[in-house]
Amino acid sequence: MKYHLFQNIRKRIILFRNHLHFKIAIYKKSKFPSVVIHEKYKWVVKVLKYLLTLIGLISAFFTFNSVLIAFLFAIGIFLIIQFFDKIIFSYISLYINPFPDFELDPEKWTASIFGYAKSNTFADFRFIVGWLFSDEDYAKNIHSLLLQWSYGKHNDVEKNICLSIVLFNNSYVFYCYPNPNRKTAKDFFSNVEKQRRQKSLTDLLYRFFITIVFGKRFKILEGSYLSTFINDYQSGMPFNFNLMVLGSDGKPRTIDGIEDFIFYDIKVRRKEDLCRSDFEYDLIRLSKH
């Protein structure tokens, strides 16, 4: 009970920090840091600039004790206004990836498979990665969704689909999600930025996505090929990605009517090696893992 309470509080703190980050943030891309504020506060900044300008004008009628104090007061007003002028305003745009038109049931994804296959069509051998399902129709639905993410291509040379493995001591989490840099997403945000530049050349776009992320934790069983796969696989090597079901003999079998995917990369990280730039970073922090 205490653990679940702690986890809920922790998640709320993380979400609050992320929410606050998108309202106001400080970036240091050059010698001087830049302050980024959400565009809904633009009117506040404008009002403050007008008030400071008004104070500067009215101060001409004030009598200061010395010329130095008057000079410092004027410099202070000028520097504050300059600070407000340098503020960058952010805005948010939302892209929605294809969603399933069927009900998701994580329990039907029963295992992940790692191995290799030899064939006359391969130069030597090819790694095999697969998901095992308990329901053939469900596996076909998953295949159709992945095909939407890859624009109907089984040979995903453009890496429209991302696969990743996050390692724990005796287990791992297998993730699959559409690449945030898919062409339709890049084109969408490019058009949004192009339209905004007609109003402002400095506004900063925050790219938001709504997407399905497949993820499930599995134990690393004795004799698993996973360790060999991790040691031998190199980024850029093509591997087959199969969706399979258990046959009547209790062994995995391929599914008639669906074609294997060919992927060219799979990210492997230990949990402690994840950083904020990793897509999986917040997935792990906000999950029960």
Quick: pLDDT tens for 93-113: 999 999 999 999 999 999 999
Closest CA to 248 of 154, 168, 136, 149: 136
When pLDDT is cut at 50, 70 and 90, the band that residue 29 belongs to is low
pLDDT for residue 30 is more than 70: no
Which runs of E-coded beta strand occur in 180-237?
Answer: 204-210, 214-219
272-275: Cβ within 8 A, 24+ apart = 274/166
Side chain identity at residue 38, one-letter code:
H
Closest CA to 259 of 238, 241, 246, 237: 241
Q: Which residue has the higher pLDDT, 286 or 208?
A: 208
Percent of the chain clearing pLDDT 70 (strictly above): 85
Q: Which residue has the higher pLDDT, 42 or 178?
A: 178
Strands 126-133 and 239-246: parallel
Sign of the alpha-carbon torsion through 122, 124, 125, 126: negative
Give the H/E segment covering residue 26: strand 24-27
When pLDDT is cut at 50, 70 and 90, the band that residue 178 belongs to is very high
Which runs of E-coded beta strand occur in 118-251?
Answer: 126-133, 161-167, 171-178, 204-210, 214-219, 239-246
Q: 235: how many CB neighbours lie within 10 A of its CB?
A: 9
Choose the weakest-confidence range: 36-45, 131-140, 169-178, 208-217: 36-45
pLDDT confidence of residue 261: 96
When pLDDT is cut at 50, 70 and 90, the band that residue 37 belongs to is confident
Do the Cβ atoms of 86 and 34 come closer than 8 Å? yes
* Average pLDDT over all residues of the chain: 84
pLDDT confidence of residue 117: 78
Choose the weakest-confidence range: 75-79, 150-154, 181-185, 267-271: 75-79
What pTM does this model have?
A: 0.78
Q: Report d(CA 207, CA 122) in Å as an integer.
A: 40
pLDDT confidence of residue 80: 81
Q: Report d(CA 38, CA 88) in Å as an integer.
A: 8
Closest CA to 279 of 201, 144, 204, 181: 181
DSSP state at residue 287:
S
When pLDDT is cut at 50, 70 and 90, the band that residue 197 belongs to is confident
Q: Which residue has the higher pLDDT, 61 or 170?
A: 170
Q: Report d(CA 251, CA 235) in Å as an integer.
A: 29
pLDDT confidence of residue 136: 93
Q: 207: how many CB neighbours lie within 10 A of its CB?
A: 15
Domain ranges of the chain: 2-86, 99-180+211-285
Percent of the chain clearing pLDDT 90 (strictly above): 42
Give the H/E segment covering residue 229: helix 226-232
- Taking residues 187-192, what's their average pLDDT? 93
pLDDT confidence of residue 167: 94
